Structure 1
């Protein structure tokens, strides 16, 4: 297996899932539109990017602490066009299985690599286009949809390139399925292609890549997976006056904001030590407040009812 030729084999040290395509060196010429919030985060990602799953705890905390100062713009990067686009040198799906298991341990986020042995995706383009279709309908529901398909692929071993799983995720978050299908087969592809084009102009070579920008053209870039403080520092460098909000860290409030949480996420958001977090989540599951889903590489907990 040649790591360099397989975009799904991410570099654990850098936290990057890199594409093999060359990026245009036009970063300085690219125009990034401003926002009415003080800091825009342009987040280049992919539904099946394991390192992107690895930074969910950090991003969720950023939204809680700096949600008044930031707006996150999700852009799809096209991690896996197909298994043949690199002249046959990209490897094969089964190569990814053990890597995902390794990544799961590294990021302490549950991922079951057996997907690549049982029902591998041919491409990450269909779920990426589906996300753009969801955005056309409702931006908040689109973010929930992206989380849902990520849980499907990483924890439930679902091939999210298949429409049946895209549809199930869309129904769960309350999207209109007929409209989603129309947009998926229509304008969403062009929006996805715009993301790919902008990514090349910005010099994006892998995922996650996060740009922090303001309306004066100031810019910070974080490549790969980094601890929370790196993202916080980038925000404060762009806007030193950004105010960190206090938020309730009890389990009811956190699960009312985020209906599913891993132990790593709960630990990050609640400020509770990792082992203590898992113990508390397990106790809440025994009491019937949460439902626990366990994979071979960790668990995720879901609120059984609306809490908070």
Structure 2
């Protein structure tokens, strides 16, 4: 397996088991740019890997989604016929395990796809975490619910679902601030020569060093290897949270995501979730390809 890089690996001269101090972790020595597109099924399918990295090594890095805009004109029928788009999504679902219901393109095609990226940047004006949560909910609605979410009403509905400040979101939805933020992402995509989504670019604290770019998707161990070599130290992953704690934090996850994070089979993931279902902690949400689980209890 190969990967594309824009800078060399940094070799460690220190002891193999050295750990970071408390003050090292305050600044999170690694920053990751995630070049993505809300309409890209491969980007959606990468989410379980990102979750696992954050759970095990999130104390060492921050992550910043960058919207590439590469699919903003996806509704141009001549370039992207609905049947081809359906086939692309369905193929990705079968290859990755993350549900992508391609019937969207036949039943409720997006009227203005470019508005989705602008809405994500509008949400991000309320904070990086707010923007990422909004992006996740956008993807859930796109890939699971077969709904044209590119209208203002739908975009505002999702903003309400993730508890954004609705008055602020409405003001920002078509604002110059959101447009400029999106243009910055598009410019960064061009400057870093990102020609495939998803792509991840890793940066360490050394300003002189170029980023290291992984183009496309890889197995989890490749991302961990890159992270460790950029840290220049051998670091150990955090223990995985209890399953109930995991679902209570993320609220809505697939059996596939659980299987990836806990290194289980899909069958075992479903079996463990059914135990929580018997306790009425979760509800089962069948989708076209697989099963999602929704947490039933609200946080106090």
Smaller-chain TM-score bracket = 0.7 to 0.9
Aligned residues: 276
Q: Could you list the runs of 4 or more consecutive aligned residues of structure 1 that deviate by over 4 angstroms after TM superposition?
A: none
SS, match of residue 171 in structure 1: helix
For 2:31 and 2:156, how far apart are their aligned partners in 1?
30
For 1:280 and 1:234, how far apart are their aligned partners in 2?
32
Q: Return the index of the structure with the highest Cα Rg.
A: 2
Structure 2 unaligned segments of length 5 or more: list them: 8-25
Note the C-alpha offset of 1:282: 3.2
Note the C-alpha offset of 1:242: 6.3
SS, match of residue 81 in structure 1: coil
RMSD: 2.3
Partner of 2:108: 119
Within the candidate set 36, 50, 54, 1:45 is matched to 36
Does residue 227 of structure 1 match 2:216? no
Partner of 1:128: 117
Does residue 99 of structure 1 match 2:88? yes
Partner of 1:275: 267
Cα distance change on mapping 1:117 and 1:242 into 2, 3 Å: farther
Cα distance change on mapping 1:233 and 1:144 into 2, 3 Å: same
Q: Is the 8 A contact 1:80 1:123 kept in 2?
A: no
Q: TM (normalized to structure 1)?
A: 0.83
Note the C-alpha offset of 1:135: 0.9
Within the candidate set 71, 78, 88, 1:80 is matched to 71
Partner of 1:56: 47
For 1:58 and 1:91, how far apart are their aligned partners in 2?
28
Within the candidate set 176, 187, 190, 1:197 is matched to 187
Cα distance change on mapping 1:93 and 1:242 into 2, 3 Å: farther
For 2:110 and 2:234, how far apart are their aligned partners in 1?
41
Q: Is the 8 A contact 2:112 2:151 kept in 1?
A: no
Q: Is the 8 A contact 1:252 1:307 kept in 2?
A: no
Structure 1 unaligned segments of length 5 or more: list them: 1-12, 15-26, 29-34
Cα distance change on mapping 1:280 and 1:230 into 2, 3 Å: same
Note the C-alpha offset of 1:215: 2.7
